[in-house]
Structures are given as structure tokens and as C-alpha cells.
A and B are shown apart, each in its own frame.
Chain A
């Protein structure tokens, strides 16, 4: 009997473990990293450059800039630059060896919220459009854009407003918004690898509802309310049996 119990208990770990590993291998759970607890621990409301109609004015979104020295592949360092909201609304992660500028040159990376250059053909922009730029000292000291070197990529991440839906990170390219292969980093960040800088935004597919976020809070309130009602029903049933 004890041996049977041991086997049952071992199966209680082995079967879910096999399901977990199998689910990952089969892609059922997606590519998102495992997050079993709330990250970030606190989040301020999304800051709009121009709030959607019907939404209260928010604090102004922040920009970010950092000067780095371009390096060759040897000695390259990874740099992370984010806007200062909690959590950041826009982030760029890059190698100092990823730019098409001479080694040793000082370049400035900038992230800034900008007005949308155009609306997407389908769906709508979730949050702000962010301009990611790199500039170096051009001829005569006049700053000029610096691009990403061939074969190199940089990582960009944008925070969603919380509007229900599955947005993609799109780049404004030749006059249209083009979706990139997007990874959802729970709870609210979406990241891409990009071979060019420019204007990026989260684009929600058509039919996504809301305009100001709070989707998670709404889901929580609804499910929480159902559970509280269930608790009340349990109490009533128990009292009626006495």
C-alpha cells in the first residue's frame, strides 16, 4: 500500500512535469519566459503624449538619451536605455559594437515619444509612438544619423497600455506600419529584434476594446466578484443545512 502511495505521489510530480516540458517543446505555452508572479511589483498609469478621447490627461511621457563609445566586436558591451516611467514605456538594448560607425566614435542614442507619422492601415496604435535614434558627429561636427551595422540587431521593447488584445510591435517603414516578430514579456511588455532604428509603436488588431488600459484590473474584478459571490453561496448553503 505504501509503495502504491509512493508511486501515485511520484506520478503527481512526473505527469505535470512532463506536461510542462512537453507544452514548451510543442510551443503550446509560447516563447514567453516563465513569470509566475507579478512583475513589475508596481506600475504607474500609462503616460500618453496625447491621451485618447475620453481619457483624462496623464503625466507627460519621458524621453531618454545616452552617449556611448562605439566599439568593435571585441570589447563590445551591452547597454540598456529606458524611459523613466515605472515600468519603462520604451527601452532599447544594444551592443556598443552594433552600429555602423568607426570604433571609438561617440554616438548618442535617444528614445522620444513622437506624434504618429500615420495611422496604421488596420488596427490602432496602443500608447505612444516612440522614435529610436542614434546620431554621431558628422562632417564639420554636424550630427548625422548612425544606423545599425549589417548583420547586427538591437532589442526594442514597448510597454502596452493594458487595453485587451494582442498587439505587435510595428516599425514605420516606407510610409506604412509593418509588424515585426514580437515577443510578449508578461505582464505588459512587448519586445522585438530590429535591424534598423526609427519609429516604433504597438499596434492592436482590429476589434480590441477600450482606450485606456486597466484590462487586467477588469478581469480581476469580474473573476474576484464571482468568487466572492460563490463564498457567500457556500455560507448560505451551510447555514440552511443547520
Chain B
């Protein structure tokens, strides 16, 4: 009759709690950001999946919120378009790469990490924590000067997550804003 207890205990001991898994994955992703984009994507997407997060069918309003968010994210620079610095060689591979990065970031930040934060501390903490994490993953590429902008953008994307109840809204806004970079940069 006592057999089940010893069998269950090692399993609890060896599997890390989602919070630790996600923090470790975030650290690994930040370390890899300026080194390898594919590895960065793999770490974020893999951690989101391992934490148990799964995408769900979004509400119809998510698309509308996503469009609103995209307009917000590019509105400022659109008013001050300057000279057009270097373009890139080919739109399709660039767009595919950006989509994979966006998908992995959103699955991890506004999906898995958001869920764990909400469960443990509520929506306000989730909003701030995921915005901070969003700023951190961009730090290796864009430096400290971009931190206020990226944190604020993280708050906007988190707000979209909160108001729409879905990862789809921030993911769409994020994807469209990044895509606009092809023409804005």
C-alpha cells in the first residue's frame, strides 16, 4: 500500500518548476540573442512548450486589437521618416525569419511566462514582468539606449494581451510592426 509514494517523490524532485524553467530559458535566450537567432528561437519556443503552454484559438476581436497595436507601434516613427538606410537582400527569407522570432517571443513572453505570472501574482505583475523580459531579450542587439522604448513597447503588447485575452493580438501587432521595419529602415 505504501508503494506509490516513493515513486511519486523523485518525479517531483527532478522536474523544475515552470517559473525556474522559464527564468533559466530567458537567461539562455538573452545570452544567445546576439550570437544565434535560430538558437534563440529554439530556446524560447522549446521552453514555452515544455512549460505546458499551448496556443488556443483566438477570439475574433484579437485581430482588431492586433491591428490597433501595430498602428501604435509604428505611429511615432511614421511621423518622422528620414533617409532610407540600408535595405536587405530579400524580403521573403527576412520576413520568415522575423515571423519565427516573433512567434517564439510571443509564445514565451505573452504565452508561457504570462500564464505563470498571472497564476502566481496576477495580471499587473504579468504585465510588468513580461515587459521587463521583452526589454531584456532585445538588450544584446540594441543596447541600453533602447531599453526604455522596448520596455514601453512590452507594456503595449502586454496591454493587448490583457484586453484581448489572447496571445494572438500582441503577436499580430508585433509581427506587423516588425514587418513595417522593412520599409521604415
Contacts and interface: CB of A to CB of B under 8 A. Distances in A.
Nearest to B138: A36
Given A33-B185, A41-B94, A91-B86, A16 B35 contact: no
A230 B151 CA distance: 21
Contacts of B75: 21, 24
Contacts of A155: 83-85
Interface stretch (A67-75, A186-194, A200-208): A186-194
Contact of A231 (B21, B139, B163): B21
A42 B41 CA distance: 13
Nearest to B96: A41
Interface residues of B, number: 76
B184 A34 contact: yes
B30 interface: yes
B162 A35 contact: no
Nearest to B134: A36
Interface stretch (A100-108, A141-149, A232-240): A232-240
Interface in B25-44: 26-35, 37, 40
Contacts of A220: 30-35, 139-140
Interface string A101-125: 0000000000000000000000000
A235 B17 contact: yes
Interface in B73-92: 73-77, 79-80, 82-88
Nearest to B75: A21
A173 interface: no
A223 B156 contact: no
B106 to A, nearest CB: 11
Contacts of A210: none
Interface in B149-180: 149-150, 152-153, 155-156, 158-160, 162-163, 174, 177-178, 180
Given A21-B72, A193-B83, A223 B27 contact: yes
A218 to B, nearest CB: 8
- A contact residues, range: 35 or more
B140 A16 contact: no
A231 B20 contact: yes
Contacts of B158: 12, 16
A219 B145 contact: no
B156 A35 contact: no
Interface string A165-204: 0100000000000000001111101010100000000000
A37 interface: yes
A187 B101 CA distance: 16
A39 B148 contact: no
A34 B34 contact: no
A106 B88 CA distance: 26
13 contacts: A12-B162, A37-B101, A38-B33, A80-B86, A91-B85, A187-B142, A215-B143, A217-B34, A217-B35, A223-B136, A223-B140, A228-B31, A242-B12
Interface of A: 9-10, 12-17, 19-21, 23-25, 28-42, 78, 80, 82, 87-88, 91, 93, 153, 155, 157, 164, 166, 183-187, 189, 191, 193, 214-217, 219-221, 223-232, 234-235, 238-239, 242
